[in-house]
Amino acid sequence: MDAVTTEENFHGLTHLRTDGTAHMVDVSGKAETSREASAVATVRSTVEVVSLLGSGDLPKGDALAVARVAGIMAAKKTPELIPLCHPLPLSKVSIDFDVAGDSVTVLATVRTRGVTGVEMEALTAVSVAALSVYDMIKAVDKHAVITDIKVVAKSGGKSGDWAL
């Protein structure tokens, strides 16, 4: 057995042991609480393309409906995509859009009742939703950009609540 226990960590990083190797954090001793996280991403394009997006008139169809479902599906697949994430019973995933001017802001909010947070699920959901928007508009704007992906709020758990 490895001489380094999973309780030790490297420079305070919970996913690294003292020898620098990665491990999945043991969350079995943590209290189950209601937890929520929200993340945003922005897809920048042109005013004309964003107008088509908002009206559902893109050549590929209703991009926002497709992106919403893609984001929800992505949140559920987070532990398959991010190697050290714990599988969580998600109780709610919502994906919303703010279509204005030359950009679309995507907001993902994820909820669970569990022993670890859902920040990674929110980030995965918003990223995949933004990627789906990009995929739906690339036929009419090959220069669209996805930017500013970040967690904007989190609640529940020992570390408490915060929001940008």
- Residues classed as catalytic: 135
Q: Cβ(138)–Cβ(130) under 8 Å?
A: no
Largest CA distance in the chain: 61
As given in the structure block, the two tokens for residue 45 are: 């394009």
Residue 105's identity, in one-letter code, is T
What single-letter DSSP state applies at residue 14? T
Q: Give dist(CA 114, CA 85) in Å, integer.
A: 13
Q: Cβ(62)–Cβ(45) under 8 Å?
A: no
Q: Give dist(CA 142, CA 64) in Å, integer.
A: 18
